[in-house]
Chain A
Amino acid sequence: MPLKLLKCDQTIPEREKHCYVKGPGESINDFLPSADVPTIPGSLSERGCSFCGAKLVIGGALKDTIQLIHGPVGCAYNTWHTKRYTSDDENFQLKYVWSTDMKEQHVIFGGEKKLKQSILEAFREFPEKKRMMIYTTCATALIGDDIQAVAKDVEVELGEEVDIFCIECPGFAGVSQSKGHHVFNMAWMKDKVGEVEPEITSPYTINFIGDYNIQGDTLVLKKYFDKMGIQVIAHFSGNGTYDELRGMHRAKLNVVNCARSAGYISSELKKKYDIPRLDVDTFGFNYTTEGLRKLGTFFGLEDKAEEVISEELEKYKSKLEWYREKLKGKKVCIWTGGPRLWHWTKTLEDELGMEVVAMSSKFGHQEDFEKAISRGREGTIYIDDGNELEFFEVLDEVKPDVIFTGPRVGELVKKLQIPYINGHGYHNGPYMGFEGAVNMARDMYNAIYSPLWKLSKEDIREAL
């Protein structure tokens, strides 16, 4: 089965290039969905904007940095608090958001004065914070406000203890949030990497790249690294700090989890500083074991890696086996951003005996589909930039038991009595590592077996 035109897309036949059903014996050389291209008019995309990719995904996870959004107030609210990345800095990054609150008068007369006032006010109100990121948005990019010049002006005024990074990536910069990831990666590499010399405490140093500490993911993995004696110079960017990211050039290895949002900086670090790039999956027992073994080999710490693995298996293996018995044969959809399609599909199938029947990516590139299709099963539906009508049609066809997706689509499928799990922020994470795999299985078990589904199907109006 090649590319597929869903019934709901009859009036927008261009959507056929974005939907693929894997047929027997087919390879990624036969068909590959179109991806990372502009949304087709008529299709109500669920993508985020490019500014969101820079701020919400990457910069916003830093635990010690004021995130100032130069634009109307909505740009701040809509990229705040929707991602559950916690930190060990009292969740500073989740508690606060800063906006220059642009109004019509600033659009007409320019917003630079307002921006300078806002920067100074933010530093004044948070005197212990000395690091700031400033983002342009559609409005301020269109009127041409020079945020770099304003930031330099403030840096001169406040002295050397203050450091500001500017991200010029308005919402319209690209076709989705993916462009924001790219702009942030490249700008940070160009402007900031190499500015700080980190304190080296171990001969074994890594940057852990493309992990955002969703509900504590980073902390789970850090526990393993600590036990192996590996120093993480920079977490890009979950539970990370501004200055640790300025010292990324000193790591001996880049360990990359989310290649979509942070592959760029990993590749640039390889090119400029000769730091090799090791791509890993961090979800599930098999992948976590694989990643730790590879790290152990790289540093000659094989014994330490095996110790961590056997300790964790001892704690969690029987738990995962219990859930496997409950979940095997259940059908699941993965409708998330991009990389979780390929991170999760084989883990759910191999370790829990589930069937991944449909996958959809909001902002993945064709590289993500190469990985997802190669790892995915035959008969599975693969969609790029899917919309709600397509999702409803796919649901009729594949009849899943549970869906990983965001809260918006999740609320829709709940009305059809299909359980969903937050595939972006998780229900009860962390999901990474050994304990994360058990948490993920538990969330699916709770979702599928909840007695509430039976009750929710009853129409109580008939009883009245």
Chain B
Amino acid sequence: MEDRVVELVSFIQERYLWQFAPRTWDREENINGILNQASQLLTGKKVSLDTPKENCFYADAKFFVNEIKNKFSWINEMDDVQKKSLIESAKEKLIEVTITKSLNLEVDSPKY
């Protein structure tokens, strides 16, 4: 599983802008919002689209899920528990890379 997480995070790092939002709180919100929906989509659960923000996360999450299902055939062989665990680990790693261990001195600035 660890190798799969590394592979997935490396793919996300190379591909998606949402992880690099300008500030810590935006990054956290995007990573959690998009990957939580991705986890639900991967496991066949219904996602909530009640707010504009959720709808925006869905646009990113749906694209992301389609891409990883095409690119990483091993995802399709995982059961739901494994899929959820994969995404949870990817979330943790992304928070670490883009927030907690970030060398970007601007992400904690209180204003835009």
Contact = CB atoms under 8 A, between A and B. Distances in A.
B78 interface: no
Interface stretch (A161-169, A269-277, A327-335, A416-424): A269-277
A293 B21 CA distance: 20
Given A28-B103, A259-B17, A298 B63 contact: no
A278 interface: yes
Interface string B79-112: 0000000000000000011100111111100001
Contacts, number: 85
B52 A275 contact: yes
Chain A binding surface SS class: helix
A298 B59 contact: yes
A63 interface: no
A371 B104 contact: no
A370 B15 CA distance: 12
A293 B103 contact: no
Interface in A247-280: 252-253, 259, 263-264, 267-268, 271, 274-280
Contact of A276 (B20, B23, B52, B103): B52
Contacts of A278: 56, 59-60
B106 to A, nearest CB: 6
A366 interface: yes
Interface stretch (A29-37, A48-56, A80-88): A29-37
Contacts of B96: 29
A372 B3 CA distance: 24
A450 interface: no
Contacts of B97: 27-29
A271 to B, nearest CB: 8
A31 B106 contact: no
A375 interface: yes
Contacts of A365: 104, 106
6 contacts: A267-B112, A276-B56, A366-B105, A367-B22, A370-B102, A370-B104
Given A278-B60, A370-B102, 16 more contacts: A27-B13, A29-B96, A31-B103, A36-B106, A186-B112, A259-B17, A275-B52, A276-B56, A278-B59, A279-B17, A290-B63, A293-B63, A366-B104, A367-B20, A370-B104, A374-B13
